[in-house]
Structure 1
Amino acid sequence: MVERALGDPVALSDSREYARLTRRHRELLPLVTLLREQTSLEGDLAGAQELLTDPDMRELAQGEVQNIEARLAEIAAEVEVLLLPTDPDDSKNVILEIRAGAGGAEAGLFVTDLLRMYTRYAEGAGLKVNVLDANESDLGGASKVVAEVSGEFAFRAFKWERGVHRVQRVPATESQGRIHTSTVTVAVLPEAEQSEVQLDLSEVRFDVFRSQGAGGQGVNTTDSAVRAVFRAGTPDEIIVVCQDGRSQIKNKEKAIQVLASRIAERERVAREEKERSERQSQVGTGDRSEKIRTYNYPQNRVTDHRLEGENKNYPLDSVIEGQLSPVVAALARDERERQLLEMASEAQHGAA
């Protein structure tokens, strides 16, 4: 049905609808491929079972039946996972915000370490990182970095990173070799689409100023940087700065995009808080107040606190170089297992 819709001239003439259908086609393709393989194997299985009655072919047919049945069992398990509810934000681009927490200058240095780690991880996943704003420190760190991660399924690749990241190491300025503990918060916001957020631009104040620091390619040349302030002076105030490009217009457009994403994230958190209170139980939402991971330099170990057993520990030297895929894969498996358990529990309660 999606393939037919992709060939419809109406869809081809609507870029937004065509992009939506293309994303949906990519999401469904793994499931369709497995189901086609399942149908083909079921036909092969029927043929092999018929040969079991032939004395000359029985031994060969038995091996074929075992292989096909084993693969069909694998397919059934894979299909079960693919039929689980998917995150509607998975295919979206990401606004990545990395901020220094406790730890002063050392936390600022770890902000830049994480940015480097995420940039390398993104490159390995075929994604692009574009720094929109950075508040740099004199020591080479940064109190805050805001970046856009774009490409296929960017949010799916980065959504596990939101939360508090703790680092334990000996700072370069520490003369007595004492280990310091610092924290950095990471927010991962799926880019909001225009239809998702009703942003009244009359509630936004725009200021322009000269770009400076990393992300300001036109440093001290033009007043191209843009600051967008939503509902200034109120409890709802949100401030966004974009100084990536030379064009004031482009920076203003990106500032609006980031602002919409932050508003959408605020609404998402509010919804989840309401759902938590209604259920009177904690759900792991991955919001930024949770400590999700510790980077222990003396022991060359990264521990993800959302995982258990040996699945939670990884070599720091490879992770900090951007090899995050094993950690992300483990978190995704854990999430799928949790979803399956919840579905099984709901089915039991329904039967009772």
Structure 2
Amino acid sequence: MLGDAQTIADQERFRALSREYAQLSDVSRCFTDWQQVQEDIETAQMMLDDPEMREMAQDELREAKEKSEQLEQQLQVLLLPKDPDDERNAFLEVRAGTGGDEAALFAGDLFRMYSRYAEARRWRVEIMSASEGEHGGYKEIIAKISGDGVYGRLKIRIWRSSRATCSCYGIAGSYSYFCLYRCGNARTA
């Protein structure tokens, strides 16, 4: 279908079909890898009966089960219904909650974590507004993150984290909050 002359002539349709093909090929590749790991698990389980191979089989079985869990999680994410906003850019807002300086330090750590995650994916991080804490960190920071599939990826990352995260600095009642907003237009925002 992608090689059809009419499809190539209609650039909008061609781009949409190319994106769909890329998404489906990711699912297909992940599922094929998962099937191979299941075969590896079966082979390792059969090798457990051989006393000479038992130790090696146990190692292979453990590794294959770990890989199987990772691939299952990846498949679950890939099979989630696609949100039309997933390809948009996003605004990330991190605020220090109650806890004073410790909350500001933790908010700074959260922002650095997400900005490094973005940089590892070659997304652009642009700080729109920042209010620094007295001893480091941020009372509040808002950043625009631009790139391919930013909102969809960050939406899943933040969904896995809690909305209010306890401070790692051990201060009771010290919280930092973070939110993610999609940009209005993926091409211009």
TM-score, normalised by the number of residues in structure 2: 0.59
Q: Deviations over 1:183-232 (max 9, x none)?
A: 111111122238xxxxxxxxxxxxxxxxxxxxxxxxxxxxxxxxxxxxxx
1:183 corresponds to: 175
> Among 72, 79, 88, which residue is 1:92 paired with?
88
1:164 corresponds to: 164
Contact 2:125–2:145 (8 Å) recurs in 1: yes
Alignment of 1:151 with 2:143, yes or no, is no
> Among 108, 127, 130, which residue is 1:112 paired with?
108
Between the aligned partners of 2:6 and 2:174, the Cα distance in structure 1 is: 50
Q: Quote how far apart the aligned CAs of 1:106 are.
A: 1.9
Q: Quote how far apart the aligned CAs of 1:84 are.
A: 4.7
Contact 2:124–2:146 (8 Å) recurs in 1: yes
1:131 corresponds to: 127
Between the aligned partners of 2:114 and 2:138, the Cα distance in structure 1 is: 15
Supply the AA of the counterpart residue of 1:155: Y
1:10 corresponds to: 10
Distance 1:94 1:18, change over 3 A: farther
1:193 corresponds to: 185
> Among 98, 101, 104, which residue is 2:97 paired with?
101
What is the aligned-residue RMSD (CA, Å)?
A: 3.5
Supply the AA of the counterpart residue of 1:182: S
Supply the AA of the counterpart residue of 2:185: E
Identify which of structures 1 and 2 has the higher relative contact order when contacts are C-alpha pairs closer than 8 Å and 6+ apart. 2
Supply the AA of the counterpart residue of 2:181: L
Q: Quote how far apart the aligned CAs of 1:144 are.
A: 1.1
Identity %: 31
Supply the AA of the counterpart residue of 1:161: I
Supply the AA of the counterpart residue of 1:185: Y
Deviation >6 Å, runs of 4+ = none
Supply the AA of the counterpart residue of 2:9: P
1:158 is paired with a residue whose SS is: helix
Q: Quote how far apart the aligned CAs of 1:155 are.
A: 2.1
List gaps (5 residues or longer) in structure 2. 33-67
Contact 2:7–2:14 (8 Å) recurs in 1: no
How many aligned positions are there? 144
2:50 corresponds to: none
Larger Rg: 1
2-11 vs 99-108, which deviates more? 2-11
Contact 2:94–2:178 (8 Å) recurs in 1: yes
Distance 1:144 1:22, change over 3 A: farther
Supply the AA of the counterpart residue of 1:187: C
